[in-house]
Amino acid sequence: MSDPLYYRTASALSRELEAKKISSLELVRAVIERTRAVDGTVGAFISFDEDDALARARASDARREGGEALGPLDGIPVGIKDILAVEGQPLTCASRMLGDFVSPYDATAIGKLKAAGAIPWGRLNMDEFAMGSSTENSSVKTTANPWNTDCIPGGSSGGSAACVAAGEAPLTLGSDTGGSIRQPAALCGVVGMKPTYGLVSRYGLVAFASSLDQVGPFAHTVEDAAILLQAVAGYDRRDSTSYKTDIPDYRAALQENRGPWKLGIPSEYFGEGLDPEVEKAVRAAIDFYRKEGCEIVEVSLPHTEYAVGVYYIIATAEASSNLARYDGIRYTHRSSEATDAIDLYFRSRAEGFGEEVKRRVILGTYVLSSGYYDAYYLKAQKVRTLIRGDFLKAYNQVDALLTPTTPAPAFRKGEKTDDPLRMYLSDIYTIGANLAGIPGISIPCGFSGDGLPIGLQILGRPYQEADLFAIARRFEEAHDYHAKHPGL
Amino acid sequence: MANDSDGIDIDYVANLARIALTDQEKERFSGQLGDVLKYIEKLNTVDVSGVEPTAHAFPLENVWREDAAEPGFPVETALKNAPAVRRNMIAVPKVVE
């Protein structure tokens, strides 16, 4: 075990805590020290509360001393995207609209983390209200890719991905509406998973596009991601779209499920626009599975080319509705210039929202407006049915699909900020899973010639996260891409 | 079918969305959203006759609970994030003449 404390995996830390080789207090101090040392460069955090984390670490050590440790996450810090409510902590969604907001309650995922003894650590940067693919839409700051600080970390959960990659927490939570966990995980060289829609409660997750949003884990390894998902998954009566199902023991499944699997390669994900270095790394991963005895089958997802269009209709329509609550009245920024109540709405929203949020609310309002609803929104919902059907048809034939997570490695800061459509197209391989509701994981599978990480995406059947973890783990245990760290 | 990709009436839509836009924003958004709508036009080529719309990826039924009162936030907690408070209420500009 040569990694410094702050770069060890959660499962290794868990064993050391259990064996009392380290204390949670030592671990949290190491993470705080690391964060202080590198976050000026990385910018993963919007804020962090050292006293709260230290108090929780002491409480964890006391539990363990009393023989009452709560499980594998007890005493382990977990970084939190600034979109999940943690009682008594700020929640800004990286927006001026929620500048001074303090959460009065815990999101269900956070409540479950606390019940498992984990320590919610800091507020991680993101694109404002999760709208973006580079974290450049944060109103607070930009986050750097730890592998090359001139590059973006991806988004919208860029802070969550960069935080793990930079050793500022062994685990983090993010949210994924169109790729916002998998894309930054790929670009920062860490593991990121979007579970099946409905597996993790959305209660206390600030809503962007309610039919697409899911909470999910970031980690150094597949096993760590499984441990974190285990803690936060499960039915919640406070989320009406929560799914009632028994959650399997994901770590046990990692041991038991050894394949071989039948894996599909969707030809539409290997076409025009795919960077040759990314293609080479992903093809090498496919060869690995073939050599491991997996049957590799070409499949077709014929409606893939419509996914980005469908997504930007449905996601903006839902966002325009969800963001209507930010009205300057109850708990948001309020303009001091308003002349009357209606003017208060106009000015508070103009002052509180950043450019991309305004652009999407306008687009979403337009596609829902009288005369356009059928042509855009209803049409998009119908094409969504076809996209979902493509995936379900493929799963009649194969256990999972192997694809690139992103068309290219991390791009440079500022490169796409003036061209929203180009930015939107960087999510082309991740959006389908959200529209279809299926789970997906991104794992490190190589590096570009410039030393930037490349991600392999594995897409699975609904609620078969255990299979996805097992398939991903098979690659991971034969490679060491996940164990490499950036030189910060 | 949606064909009028160059025709987003930005003033009308911004009014519906209750956002005051500057002239520069209106001009920029009109151009950018025109590009996005043009890209979206490719949906016109998909045959969706007989296809049901999907609102959620998995079929959902109504979820019911007993109509029983549960404790909520104390007033102070509920008002903690309010931008203006007077006598345990959120203060707003006058809405009736």
Tens digits of per-residue pLDDT, A375-396? 999 999 999 999 999 999 999 9
pLDDT at A420: 87
Neighbours of B49 (CB within 10 A): 5
- A474 inside 8 A of chain B by CB: no
In a domain, A321, yes or no: no
The residue-averaged pLDDT of B71-97 equals 92
Predicted confidence (pLDDT) per residue in A203-233, tens digit: 999 999 999 999 999 999 999 999 999 999 9
In chain A, the number of structural domains is 1
Kindly determine whether residue A237 and residue B58, on different chains, have CB atoms separated by under 8 Å: no
Q: What CATH number is attached to the domain comprising A221?
A: 3.90.1300.10
Kindly determine whether residue B39 and residue A421, on different chains, have CB atoms separated by under 8 Å: yes
Minimal C-alpha gap between A176 and chain B (Å): 15
In a domain, A448, yes or no: yes
- A335 inside 8 A of chain B by CB: no
In a domain, A443, yes or no: yes
- A384 inside 8 A of chain B by CB: yes
The residue-averaged pLDDT of A305-325 equals 97
In a domain, A141, yes or no: yes
- B18 inside 8 A of chain A by CB: yes
Predicted confidence (pLDDT) per residue in A106-116, tens digit: 999 999 999 99
pLDDT at B6: 52
In a domain, A315, yes or no: no
pLDDT at A130: 98
What angle is formed at CA A245 by the lines to CA A242 and CA A248, rounded to 5 degrees? 125
ipTM summary value? 0.92
Phi, psi of A172 (to 5 degrees): -145, 160
In a domain, A127, yes or no: yes
A156 catalytic, yes or no?
yes
pLDDT at A21: 97
Res. B5: pLDDT tops 50 = no
Tell me the average pLDDT of chain A: 96
In a domain, A85, yes or no: yes
A81 catalytic, yes or no?
yes
Domains of chain B: 10-45 (1.10.20)
In a domain, A25, yes or no: yes
Domain limits for position A43: 5-263+398-483
A180 catalytic, yes or no?
yes
Res. A452: pLDDT tops 90 = yes
pLDDT at A431: 97
Kindly determine whether residue B36 and residue A308, on different chains, have CB atoms separated by under 8 Å: no
